[in-house]
Structure 1
Amino acid sequence: MKSAAEKTKVQSGTCRDGQYDNSRGGLQDPAGTLPDEKKKRILEKARELYNQSGSKGEVPEVCFNLKGRAAGQWRMTGGQEQLRFNPQAFVLDWDAHFPATVAHEIAHSLVYRDHGPRGARPHGPEWQARMRAFGCEPRVTHDTPLPGRKMKTHDYACDCRHHLLSARRHHLIQRKHYRYQCRQCGATLRLGNNTRGAAD
């Protein structure tokens, strides 16, 4: 097993395993561990697709630390491109995600390189053309049943029942002094006890 901060350099791309652990700033292994041979195939496919496109930039860092229902993500972090993949998606249904999910995220990267941050819609005609050039159907969603992120909820009460509010709404109430009212009785919601009721 690799150490928390260890990185593996694979030709012109960088691979990183695990998820960020905000309490320690390190990396942890994800729940759905993808074999190294398959990670290598994803990195090789990424390099091949960038070369096929004639892109002048290097292959961005590739991370296998995405969680939740998304199978892949392209993003800019601190002015650097990054490709993130959900290892569980590839473990559950390799054929559905390789190479389609890899091509999907690289197509986003190439559209950004060609048109800038506001030059094209995320899944617009430019992105669709890139996907077709890669020999992939320009699908926006996938069918792999991935578990969503577990969202923390907070118990609030009104005069008629309990409400489960998201962490965001709880923060707005506690820190920004927002007020939410029950749609049924009209009473302002107040922080409740541990009893779980219907979600609003």
Structure 2
Amino acid sequence: MTFLQERIISRVHDSMQLAAVKLEREFAPPQVSFTQRGRIAGSAWLERWELRFNPILLADNEAAFINDIVPHEVAHLIAFACYGKVKPHGPEWQHIMRSVFKRVPHTRHQLDISKVAPTFSYQCDCRSHLLTLRRHNKVQKGTQRYQCCHCKALLRPQHNA
């Protein structure tokens, strides 16, 4: 385990303790792993009482994880413990973000995802387009074609010279 991962685990435990004090009830420490992949910075697995964090995004965004991502995910667990199954970013979760963690409740992070979600350049008759890895792979396999919504031309891979 890296020093940074240890810091995140410590922040999770501190956040759980803060919630316990503010809400005057105990919460078991969650399982914490660094197995989250793709564009997602973190996720809360409610029934498993587990938090997962993306190690690639964490490496480049320590402050965002400490200040925003960890409280965001912990708030999901606290909302589940206090209210049961509710909307993921509903009023209960927002209340916990504001009252317990003193954070503005944002539903999505603004981290640079270029390392975890590569894009591929495509061209039509009027402009360039960026396709996700999933869409690019479908084009390469011949199972899907995409067209520009403006000029209606089929998108074709843009080869770099």
Normalising by structure 1, we get a TM-score of: 0.53
Report the counterpart of residue 60 of structure 1 in structure 2: 30
Going by fraction, where is helix more abundant, 1 or 2?
A: 2
Q: Residues of 1 paired with 2:8 and 2:129: CA distance?
A: 43
Of 84, 89, 103, 2:61 maps to: 89
Report the counterpart of residue 107 of structure 1 in structure 2: 75
Report the counterpart of residue 149 of structure 1 in structure 2: 114
Of 79, 85, 89, 1:123 maps to: 89
Q: Residues of 1 paired with 2:108 and 2:118: CA distance?
A: 26
Matched residue pairs, number? Answer: 154
Unaligned segments of structure 2, at least 5 residues: none
Max Rg structure = 1
Amino acid across the alignment from 1:148: I
Of 96, 103, 122, 1:137 maps to: 103
Root-mean-square deviation (CA, aligned residues, Å) is: 4.1
Kindly tell me: are residues 59 and 176 of structure 1, through their superposed partners in 2, closer, same or farther at Cα, counting changes over 3 Å? farther
Of 64, 75, 80, 2:48 maps to: 80
Q: CA deviation at 1:102?
A: 3.5
State whether residues 74 and 81 of structure 1, in contact with CA within 8 Å, keep that contact through their aligned partners in structure 2: no
State whether residues 180 and 188 of structure 1, in contact with CA within 8 Å, keep that contact through their aligned partners in structure 2: yes
Identity of aligned residues (%): 32
State whether residues 107 and 127 of structure 1, in contact with CA within 8 Å, keep that contact through their aligned partners in structure 2: yes
Report the counterpart of residue 171 of structure 1 in structure 2: 137
Q: Residues of 1 paired with 2:18 and 2:123: CA distance?
A: 54
Q: Residues of 2 paired with 1:102 and 1:155: CA distance?
A: 34
CA deviation map 1:76-115 (0-9, x unaligned): 28x523224535433x468x71xx6543322211212344
Q: Residues of 1 paired with 2:97 and 2:12: CA distance?
A: 18
Q: Residues of 1 paired with 2:124 and 2:5: CA distance?
A: 50
Report the counterpart of residue 34 of structure 1 in structure 2: 4
